Amino acid sequence: MGTNLPSERGPAIDWITQRLAAWTDNAAAIGVQAADVTALASLTSGATNAKTAAGTAREASKASTLAWYDAADDAMDAARDLILQIKSFAASSDDPQVYVLAQLSPKDPPGETPAPEVPSDIKSELLDQGFIRLTWKGKGPRGTFYIVKRRFDNDTDYTVVATVTDKTFTDESVPFGTNRVTYAIDAQQTDKRVFGPVKTVQIGAGNGLASGEVAA
């Protein structure tokens, strides 16, 4: 550190601290009053303590801010999930009163928001415990969500199993012993819904596939 008092607070306090002992021991020889050096030492100590307290306060403020962000994000994620459920129910029931009761906008002004892109390139992956992960491609305006439907061989109709905003879904509720399941994925943005292709996943033995293998 140089021989001149730094202009910045932190380096300046460090600079003073390094010289207090010498100034105390050599007060008369360097032409200063011992009492003035003592007063400076007290001020320097106070500045050091205040710096430490400021650092602690900054860390506490940072932690509080991160906690606020995390809590707000969790609440927003939960709200988005509920909104997706409401929109999915409104779409399936075709009842505009659902939006009124939920205090949500039923749709954007005509022509303002385009319809989402039809989901495509659905891929499947068999995970541990028999879970099935689906991924797909698709684009859409802000607010687009995807409706995942499932049908087993003995079913006559599809059942909605999830509404998601990401282009991926892991099905953790396939019954044990199921050999084959078919999925369909629709994309929706407010009242604009497009129907995607289906994906059949072979889970158990059959059609030349070993048990646990997933059809491409």
CATH assignment of the domain containing 158? 2.60.40.10
Mean of the per-residue pLDDT values of the chain:
85
Last residue of a domain, one of 79, 106, 135: 79
Last residue of a domain, one of 21, 46, 79: 79
Residue 15's domain comprises: 1-79
In a domain, 84, yes or no: no
In a domain, 135, yes or no: yes
In a domain, 192, yes or no: yes
What pLDDT digit, counting tens, does each position of 119-168 carry? 999 999 998 788 999 999 998 888 899 999 999 998 989 999 999 999 99
pLDDT at 209: 33
User: How much is the pTM?
Assistant: 0.45
pLDDT at 111: 54
Same domain assignment for residues 5 and 72: yes
In a domain, 24, yes or no: yes
Amino acid symbol at 88:
S
Which neighbouring-strand residues pair with 184?
149, 198
- Mean pLDDT throughout 31-37? 91
pLDDT at 205: 56
CA–CA separation, 63 and 157 (whole Å): 50
pLDDT at 145: 93
What pLDDT digit, counting tens, does each position of 85-131 carry? 888 888 888 888 888 888 888 765 555 678 899 999 999 999 878 89
Same domain assignment for residues 133 and 189: yes
In a domain, 173, yes or no: yes
CA–CA separation, 172 and 185 (whole Å): 17
Terminal C-alpha separation, the chain: 68
In a domain, 93, yes or no: no
DSSP 183: E
In a domain, 60, yes or no: yes
Amino acid symbol at 78:
A
Which neighbouring-strand residues pair with 126?
132
CA–CA separation, 141 and 76 (whole Å): 19
In a domain, 12, yes or no: yes
pLDDT at 10: 87
Non-local (6+) Cβ contacts of 98 within 8 A are: 86, 89, 90
For the chain, the domain total comes to 2
Contact 123, 142 (CB under 8 A): no
Closest residue by Cα to residue 202 from 188, 183, 187: 183
Identify the weakest region by mean pLDDT among 22-36, 71-85, 179-193: 71-85
CA–CA separation, 88 and 65 (whole Å): 34
